[in-house]
């Protein structure tokens, strides 16, 4: 006799199972510290699918079984970003970075050391995720910074993007910005599979991520090894944010987002340059492609007084690495095939 028959009149606590699965996702993606094996996670998911098939009325939009959603779209709708998605000014040398720091000090009329949040600049696709009362309601590309494409159905398939925020204390409206990227291992496996099936090869992980997000059929996106790393908050309403950027990232992590483990705070621009060197030395060993380091004035109060120049903040800069040889090498190899 199946155990379910004991509960036919009293549906088992499906919400409890859903919360347990979401908790394990939080531990795996946000904390990078899973408590159960992938096999046990899959067993929990299988049980949830069986119970939801038995009690379809219990299905909620944030259920982890609802990631691969609706039918393919005929086209992407346009989204107008409430807060522009800004680009970054670039630095190509230590001198450029020191000049950036000097401009910041001059503008703040301060000779005090400026503290910087230091983040890897992932080589992926910028995305905006809008949450209302903790639920993901919209995903959009950067587009031209003001108008992007609505890719909500596709971002819902990415397991490191929470469908419901974890924990508490988040604003009622929260717009999170980050990068959707394809880790190197996933990219290599995707191209290996494409070689076997005779499908189109991707030139690099960034193009593979872009191509995977441009799919009108979310079922294709769902089968692509994509991750999302949060790096900023754009628009908030109904709540306060911490006073430093590094604590905003910590809050995003507590709400269920993947943030990059290399992120550090530098007490001054010289420590920031040391961070750039250290990451530059381990760049090839990283599990994902990066094309630079982003330095952000850590104090949000100082950010507000520095403001923006047209499309880029005065308080942030990207110090780029030299372009990597590998992608052209791959290009040569690819066309020799």
Ligand X SMILES: CC(C)(CNC(=O)c1ccc(Oc2ccccc2)cc1)c1ccc2c(N)nc(N)nc2n1
- Please enumerate in sequence order all residues whose Cβ is within 8 A of that of 95, keeping only pairs 6 or more positions apart, or say none: none
Q: Is 144 annotated as a binding residue?
A: no
Report phi then psi at 294, rounded to 5: -105, 125
Q: According to the binding rule CB under 6 A, does residue 79 interact with ligand X?
A: no
Which span sits near ligand X by CB under 6 A: 49-57, 82-90, 155-163, 269-277?
Answer: 82-90
The Cα–Cα gap between 116 and 177 comes to 19
Give the single-character DSSP code of 76: P
The helix (run of H) or strand (run of E) holding residue 272 is helix 269-282
Q: Is 42 annotated as a binding residue?
A: yes
Q: Is 272 annotated as a binding residue?
A: no
The minimum distance between CB 250 and ligand X, in angstroms, equals: 15
The minimum distance between CB 246 and ligand X, in angstroms, equals: 12
Residue from 156, 177, 206, 253 binding ligand X (CB under 6 A): 177
| Whole-number Cα distances in Å, 321 to 30, 93, 203, 280, 292 | 27, 9, 19, 7, 5
Q: According to the binding rule CB under 6 A, does residue 143 interact with ligand X?
A: no
Q: According to the binding rule CB under 6 A, does residue 100 interact with ligand X?
A: no
User: To which residue do tokens 């990283």 refer?
Assistant: 286
Q: According to the binding rule CB under 6 A, does residue 83 interact with ligand X?
A: yes
Q: According to the binding rule CB under 6 A, does residue 313 interact with ligand X?
A: yes
Q: Could you confirm whether 121 is annotated as catalytic?
A: yes
- Please enumerate in sequence order all residues whose Cβ is within 8 A of that of 242, keeping only pairs 6 or more positions apart, or say none: 248, 250, 251, 300
Q: According to the binding rule CB under 6 A, does residue 86 interact with ligand X?
A: yes
Q: Is 38 annotated as a binding residue?
A: yes
Give 170-228 as a DSSP string: --SEEEEEEEEE--HHHHHHHHHHHHHHTPPPPSSHHHHHHHHHT-SSHHHHHTS--EE
Q: According to the binding rule CB under 6 A, does residue 253 interact with ligand X?
A: no
Q: According to the binding rule CB under 6 A, does residue 71 interact with ligand X?
A: no
Q: According to the binding rule CB under 6 A, does residue 116 interact with ligand X?
A: no
Q: Which of 87, 141, 102 is nearest to 317 (CA)?
A: 87
Q: Largest Cα–Cα distance in the chain? A: 77
Contact characters 195-224, ligand X, x per CB under 6 A = ------------------------------
Give the single-character DSSP code of 265: E
Which span sits near ligand X by CB under 6 A: 64-72, 80-88, 131-139, 270-278?
Answer: 80-88
List the catalytic residues: 121
Write out the binding residues for NAD(+).
Answer: 38-42, 87-88, 119, 142, 179, 296, 320
Residues that bind ligand X (CB under 6 A): 83-86, 88, 119, 121, 177, 179, 231-232, 234, 294, 296, 308, 313, 316
């Amino acid at each position: 006799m199946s155990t379910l028959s004991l509960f036919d009149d009293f549906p088992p606590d499906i919400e409890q199972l859903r919360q347990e699965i979401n908790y394990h996702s939080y531990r795996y993606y946000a904390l990078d510290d899973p408590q159960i094996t992938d096999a046990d996670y899959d067993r929990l998911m299988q049980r949830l699918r069986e119970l939801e098939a038995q009690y379809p009325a219990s299905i909620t939009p944030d259920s982890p079984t609802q990631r691969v959603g609706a039918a393919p779209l005929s086209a992407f709708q346009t989204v107008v970003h409430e807060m522009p998605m800004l680009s970054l000014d670039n630095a190509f040398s230590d001198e450029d970075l020191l000049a950036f720091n000097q401009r910041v000090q001059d503008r703040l009329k301060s000779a005090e050391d400026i503290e910087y949040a230091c983040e890897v600049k992932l080589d992926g696709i910028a995305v905006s995720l809008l949450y209302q009362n903790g639920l993901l309601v919209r995903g959009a590309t950067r587009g031209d910074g003001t108008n992007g494409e609505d890719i909500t159905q596709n971002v819902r398939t990415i397991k490191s993007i929470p469908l419901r925020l974890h924990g508490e204390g988040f604003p009622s409206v929260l717009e999170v910005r980050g990068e959707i990227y394809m880790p190197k291992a996933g990219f290599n496996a995707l191209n290996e599979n494409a070689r076997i099936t005779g499908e189109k090869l991707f030139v690099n992980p960034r193009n593979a991520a872009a191509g995977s997000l441009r799919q009108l059929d979310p079922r294709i996106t769902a089968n692509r090894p994509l991750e999302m790393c949060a790096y900023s908050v754009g628009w908030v309403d109904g709540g306060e944010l911490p006073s430093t950027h590094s604590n905003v990232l910590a809050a995003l992590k507590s709400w269920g987002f993947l943030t990059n483990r290399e992120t550090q705070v530098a007490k001054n621009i010289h420590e920031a340059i040391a961070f750039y060197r250290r990451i530059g030395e381990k760049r090839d060993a990283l599990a994902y492609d990066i094309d630079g380091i982003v330095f952000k004035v850590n104090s949000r109060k100082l950010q507000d007084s520095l403001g923006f120049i047209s499309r880029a903040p005065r308080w942030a800069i990207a110090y780029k690495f030299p372009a990597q040889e590998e992608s052209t090498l791959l290009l040569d190899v690819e066309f020799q095939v």
